Structure 1
């Protein structure tokens, strides 16, 4: 059973993670090692990696592939060494709909070690609804498939 000290330290670690990601800039990617354990695992609908360098590559690529990506955390639940965040990811595509802000809504499950470092970061979001439907060509197909599945 978690102690009050564990909950407080997890709350502090979660606050650091939220502040970091809500202000994340390209130059900050190299500082992910201050938040993540050396062998931390990261998984989302497109990636499954382990280790800080691999996690840094994912967030570095985000800045290369998208314009003005940013996270807005909309909710947080802390229990024991775990935290569950809900968020909005705002960005613009570089190759089409330039300048049009896109929003992906999702959640992250974080597990912290005794030092308050992230050992597991698992992102949950619906790639079909939140991303594919916004793409030219693929979007039309995804909307059609969704309509057919719901009829």
Structure 2
């Protein structure tokens, strides 16, 4: 009897997971090798400076703490280079103009979002920020809050602008769990390993 629920659940779990993952994938992520290929290509294409100022890192942190449309309009061009690699696990972007539109849309959709940087460390040309992100937003008239952890890997050019930005975080622990259908699926999968 204990095997039957497993047999029924395993295909259902696999089907739900496959559907959720395909629904979240962007067209660019279907490139040869998918997400990891894009990351590896970005690392290869965007060679950074090994002498990054603390001021450049602080400009990046200020852009996200908290996220604000007016601040993005006024400061994003100082923080990010015109050509770049950006992946926040939800979108992959290669130029500043598209990134600005993405961030303005994000700021518009959220009531509040801020990063609290817990630790910063450097490894050659790479700068890593370990953070806690707090987000407030509304879904179908209901106020929601999410608190997630993550790490950003950054590379800067000689002018102190970000040319490579890769976020590592589990969106299912943050925003996804609040979505009407996907949230139910991700919560169920966590509770039924």
TM-score when normalising by structure 2: 0.66
Matched-pair contact (CA < 8 Å) for 1:74–1:88:
yes
What's the counterpart of residue 112 of structure 1? Answer: 156
- Mapped pair 1:71 → 2:115: yes
Most deviating of 53-62 and 24-33: 24-33
Q: Which has the larger radius of gyration?
A: 2
Q: Matched residue of 2:192: which SS?
A: helix
Matched-pair contact (CA < 8 Å) for 1:110–1:122:
yes
TM-superposition CA deviations, 1:2-30 (whole Å, max 9, x none): xxxx44x3433212222332244210112
Gaps of 5+ in 1: 1-5
Q: Answer 1 or 2: which has greater helix percent.
A: 2
Matched-pair contact (CA < 8 Å) for 2:86–2:164:
yes
Q: Matched residue of 1:32: which SS?
A: helix
Pair 64,23 (structure 1): closer, same or farther in 2 beyond 3 Å: closer
Q: How many aligned positions are there?
A: 143
Pair 15,80 (structure 1): closer, same or farther in 2 beyond 3 Å: farther
What's the counterpart of residue 12 of structure 1? Answer: 55
Task: Name the CA distance, whole Å, in 2 between partners of 1:21 and 1:137.
Answer: 28
Q: Matched residue of 1:37: which SS?
A: strand
Gaps of 5+ in 2: 1-49
Task: Name the CA distance, whole Å, in 2 between partners of 1:21 and 1:132.
Answer: 20
Matched-pair contact (CA < 8 Å) for 1:81–1:113:
no
Matched-pair contact (CA < 8 Å) for 1:10–1:78:
no
Task: Name the CA distance, whole Å, in 2 between partners of 1:104 and 1:80.
Answer: 27
CA RMSD of aligned residues (A): 2.1
Residues 44-123 of structure 1: matches in 2 within 5 Å? 44-95=88-139, 96-98=141-143, 100-123=144-167
Q: Answer 1 or 2: which has greater strand percent.
A: 1
TM-superposition CA deviations, 1:45-104 (whole Å, max 9, x none): 210011111111121111111112222212111233221011222222222441x43212
Higher relative contact order (CA 8 A, sep 6+): 1
Which aligned segments of 4 or more residues in structure 1 are displaced greater than 4 angstroms? none
